[in-house]
Amino acid sequence: MKKTILLASALVFLISCKNESTEQKVIENTHYQPAFPGQTRAEIVTTQTPYAVDIITKNLGLAWAVTNLPNNKLLITNKEKAEMFVVDLANPDNPKKVTGFPEINLTTQGGMLDVIADPDFENNRIIYWTYAEPLHDEENNDRTAVAKGKLAVDESQVENVEVIYRTFPVSNSGLHYGNRLAFDKDGYLFVSFGERSNADMRKFSQDLSSPLGKVLRLTKDGKAAPGNPFANTPNALPEIYSLGHRNPQSLAFDAKGQLWEIEHGPQGGDELNLIKPGTNYGWPIITYGVEYSDEIIGDAITQQEGLEQPVYYWDPVIAPSGAEFYNGNIEEWQGNLFVGGLKTQLLGRLIIKDNKVVGEEHLLKDQNDRIRDMVTGADGNLYVVGDQGKLYRISKK
């Protein structure tokens, strides 16, 4: 009897060790320690409110961004083609193609990217979008461009197209364009740009003479908005609002008017940042990640005086895309931050209290779709797009 108990205890110990080892292998990309409790791996939560997930169209191609239009319609970009779609939620399975866009470089991570409607769209019908703009030079360089134009009344095309901002220096990496667009309550346009990935391009995240690796605050004409933090700094671009970003593909304002940014980090270092004017978020000097080859980055430090810590980081990474502070029909989700996961093929829900992440949930994992973007519709439902061309509607049962 004693021998049986000892054998059973040993077996439990071995299983426990095996599970612990497996868990470590699964959950860790790096072994860096967080700067404060709750900075990573928040408590996993589960929605208690019954909800339904419906696929209301499958005809969008590789959908990169979604935004609201009036009259219960959505405007959705297709990354792989120089077009957008207007989806009437009363007849969602027949998206209307929008054309008339400038030439777009359809490359690895480039293409047609984000889109947003002017806050006064009902009166002026202006939309803004970002895309990879080819240069047609010998090196096949391109840059991220921000354009605006008028959506025709019949929604078939954009008119009076004008490019209002272009990034520099140019690159042929095909990577890390960023980006996202967001309007604040004063009507200023925020745009995030990646640093184009290559080792020789990363330095521009810390260079105030380039928009790469930055969040900018612009007027609707693409000029520096008044009151920007570097307006009086010698040799600095007056449009810069924050710096030290890697590949930011998410921007969203919360109910308090605070701007949040989420960026693709290296392996083990995807970040959620609360954006403050003039603040340096550290890339590539500090990071919680390592290269995809497992090599260290820089001096392998995660903190340095004068450089801002992320509110939250993902280790392992989710490859984040899109962001939306929910204000729909499910009371349990009010004020929660939703984010897409490309690598992990999920829709993430973050519960944020006092500007700290206190809970995380992973939704839509059964769809096996790389989630790109999401928006709360005028009807109070959450609409989500991803690489498979599907438009998901998440509603309260």
Active site residues: 176
Strands (E), 112-204: 112-117, 126-134, 142-151, 158-166, 178-183, 189-193
CA distance 74 to 89: 7
CA distance 371 to 387: 7
| Strand duo 356-363 + 270-275: pairing | unpaired
CA distance 219 to 119: 13
| Strand duo 142-151 + 158-166: pairing | antiparallel
DSSP letters, 165-187, are EE-SS-B------EEEEEE-TTS
Cα–Cα separations (whole angstroms), residue 6 to 9, 12, 20, 263, 287? 5, 10, 21, 51, 46
CA distance 295 to 307: 22
CA distance 396 to 53: 9
Residues in Cβ contact with 5 at an 8 Å cutoff, skipping those fewer than 6 apart = none
Handedness of CA 297, 303, 304, 309 (dihedral sign): positive
Burial 348-380 (b: 16+ CB within 10 A, else e): bbbbbeeeebebbbbbbeebebbbbbbbbbeee
* CA-derived radius of gyration, the chain: 22
The angle at the Cα of 254, spanning 334 to 155, to the nearest 5 degrees, equals: 90
CA distance 30 to 44: 20
Handedness of CA 213, 214, 215, 216 (dihedral sign): negative
Nearest residue to 97 (alpha-carbon basis) of 113, 84, 111, 79: 84
